[in-house]
Chain A
Amino acid sequence: MQVASHNGKPFNFSPEALTEVQGLMVKYPEGRHKSALIRALHIAQEENGGWLSIAALDHVAETLRITPIEVYEVATFYTMFNLEPVGKYVLEFCHTGPCAIEGAERLLDYVRQKLGIETGQTTPDGMFTLKEVECLGACGYAPMMQVGIYYHEHLTEEKIDRFLEDCRAGNIDKGSWKMH
């Protein structure tokens, strides 16, 4: 069970995100705009540095005109929502069966060693958080990880090395949940 936390910072949607969320609410019949919640949370998470603080959750509740508890219930249920601060790049490695038999476990060991952190932790410089996740629908292109909105497939140690360097150099595009 995840528990939400504070970091003392206020949160407000940017004007463009607010417009987008309001646009989502009208895709559902009158009075059913709560359905926009999950996507609104994705957008809030992105605008809040990759995680959802209580301030962010409360702001989403206010925007959607629903109670905070309705938002907490949902935010704690779905694994894509981070309820604690994360690094700039969140590396989400698939460790489910088909990836495991294609070497995901060995690769995870390699990444843990290379970054000096365990699964669930963030590097001291705040660059990387390592997460293990369940099958992401890329089993034929294993092993793989997701970073931001994109998949990185057919991973090898060399590819990981290059990827981490590119992140440090600021060359990795994480994509955006906001409409392109």
Chain B
Amino acid sequence: MSRKLLLEHAHIDGINGYETYRKHGGYRAVEKALKSMAPADVLEEVKKSGLRGRGGAGFPTGMKWSFLAKPEGVPRYLLCNADESEPGTFKDRYLMEKIPHLLVEGMILSAYALGANTSYIYIRGEYSWIVFILEKAISEAYAKGWLGKNILGSGFDCDLYVNPGAGAYICGEETALIESLEGKRGNPRIKPPFPAVKGLWQCPTVVNNVETLAAVVPIVNEGGEAYARIGVGRSTGTKLISAGGNINKPGVYEVELGLSMEEFIFSDEWCGGIKNGKRLKACVPGGSSVPILPHYLVTKTAAGEDRLLSYESLADGGFESGSMLGSGGFIVYDEDQCVVRNTWNFTRFYHHESCGQCSPCREGTGWMEKVLERLENGKGKLSDMDLLVEVAKKIEGNTICPLGDAAAWPVASAIRHFREEFEWHVREPEACMQRNYGLVKEKAELA
């Protein structure tokens, strides 16, 4: 049985309310920090824990916090990124719905470490009912004296608010999030300056994912070293994985980093294997932005080692034969799924979500979408695959924010691993359409 640090109590009835949460050890970490630790001590524990950002990039949290500028007389802000819009990802939602006080507690601790007196949770607008769950938890925390002025007589003031978005994937990018929080369009900013120096309202700002901030609670309770003992190598602690696609048991799981992919996908404790007795075809392990892995690279690396759920193992082989842990949006494909159609679908998503500021992203995603659409509809050419790879290369690294890369990687990796399937769409459009969707009515259009 794997250890749970975040979801240990998530199944308990009433844990979304203050009394039950408190009874199960809630706010113990705030008590400990505010009574016996200086802000720098909390930062030190987070550094020792080896915690890495759970929003996608995996950047060490302690290091990020230590970059925060601290000019005299200028307020600092902590922002929680609850925009969660990466296709395949639904773990933050689960955490906030089930155990909202854990996020509130994690934010108080983090704000204390950073010296931020005002914090905001930026949550995607579609999670509207969770806005109210969080606001209820926050008002309970105020009423019990965990938020507000001079908490526990420590002299530390902490205000916390929820701010919803309104449907825009790009607002998960940290500078777009800041723009949106300022009441503007979600256009990412050119960096530098980084948010740590000039963020919200041009003040020093830290942006962290929901899960990252929640993880600070067990780190303070048990100590950074104890946290770092869980996991493997530089992938310390536990990770929430939201598993979906063609598996028997979709849902949100908390795994100790380092669990084998084989066990995660096939054991009954986790995903429970592929649905309907079908075979595994491919897996996108970290949300739609990360490279797709063909079945022979899912449970083993190219070197023949067991593939593990960890930052390093999933990236093993680089873009040639690896992928990324990303946000933990784990999508499993069975043998009936069409990689071309799925790639087209994802590209349409990125084209739709591009904010339009940079031409490589705005035009390139639209171009890729068009080419993939014609391939999927049996009107492609054999040269289209090289064309797609070329467009993807032109986007990659040439944009203001990483959405461009996120759009390019899935296309490049799908063609790298599934070129034959793409070519089959050109050579035998009818057969492949029928196999994929039985779309006989569209046959006439092929002529």
Contacts and interface: CB of A to CB of B under 8 A. Distances in A.
Contact of A134 (B127, B169, B201): B169
A150 B125 contact: no
A137 interface: yes
A154 B183 CA distance: 35
Contacts, number: 146
B243 interface: yes
B124 interface: yes
B352 A77 contact: no
A172 interface: no
B331 A98 contact: yes
Interface string B76-90: 000000001111111
Place the interface of chain A in its size category: 35 or more
Nearest to A180: B132
Contacts of B352: 134
Contacts of A32: 182, 201
B interface SS class: mixed
A129 to B, nearest CB: 15
Contacts of B182: 32, 34-35
Interface stretch (B22-30, B31-39, B158-166, B312-320): B158-166
Interface string A16-36: 000000000001010010111
Contacts of A96: 87, 288, 345-346, 349
B126 A80 contact: yes
A180 B346 CA distance: 37
A150 B127 CA distance: 8
A14 to B, nearest CB: 19
Place the interface of chain B in its size category: 35 or more
Interface string A127-168: 000000111111111100010011000000000000000000
B129 A175 contact: yes
A180 B136 CA distance: 10
Given A29-B201, A38-B163, A142-B244, A80 B125 contact: yes
Contacts of A179: 132, 135
Interface in B333-387: 333, 337, 341-342, 345-346, 349, 352-353
Given A39-B164, A140-B250, A98 B125 contact: no
B245 A101 contact: yes
18 contacts: A32-B182, A78-B166, A96-B87, A96-B288, A96-B345, A97-B288, A97-B342, A101-B337, A105-B437, A135-B85, A135-B169, A137-B90, A137-B93, A139-B88, A140-B90, A141-B250, A179-B132, A179-B135
Interface of B: 75, 84-90, 92-93, 118, 124-129, 132, 135, 161, 163-169, 180-186, 201, 242-246, 250-252, 288, 329, 331, 333, 337, 341-342, 345-346, 349, 352-353, 437
Which A-B residue pairs are the 4 nearest by beta carbons?
A: A78-B166, A140-B250, A80-B167, A34-B183
Interface of A: 27, 29, 32, 34-39, 41-42, 66, 70, 73-74, 77-81, 95-98, 100-102, 105, 133-142, 146, 149-150, 175, 177, 179-180
